[in-house]
Amino acid sequence: DADVTQTPRNRITKTGKRIMLECSQTKGHDRMYWYRQDPGLGLRLIYYSFDVKDINKGEISDGYSVSRQAQAKFSLSLESAIPNQTALYFCATSDDPGQGAKTQYFGPGTRLLVL
């Protein structure tokens, strides 16, 4: 979805390096999410944020941190990258139309390789 952009699209880094993955959205949504996708495991939630003052850990937050710089921007950092963090990372957004689960809109993904 062009309304959700991720940079970079591909990244190769070395063990121990700090890297940041960035996500921007023009949908005007308050909620943003970071997932990782591994072959055979589907998507797993790393962190999510409901507004700029709200950050929540997901299922697999260890080794990651996030920053919600503005409503439209949500960054994921790997403070000291390790090889098992090699994966495809997706950012997503959703609005908050009251009750019910929220439809999520995903970015194109960032492919990260940690050597």
Residue placing its CB nearer to other proteins in the complex, 3 or 79:
3
List, in order, residues 6 or more apart from 47 with CB less than 8 Å away. 33, 34, 55, 56, 57, 58, 61, 64, 65, 66, 76
CB of 108 to other proteins, least distance (A): 6
User: Which residues are near other proteins by CB under 8 A?
Assistant: 1, 4, 31, 33, 40-45, 48, 50, 56, 58-59, 90, 92, 99-109
Q: Distance between CA 104 and CA 1 in Å, rounded?
A: 11
CB of 11 to other proteins, least distance (A): 15
CB of 115 to other proteins, least distance (A): 22
φ/ψ of residue 30, rounded to 5: -80, -30
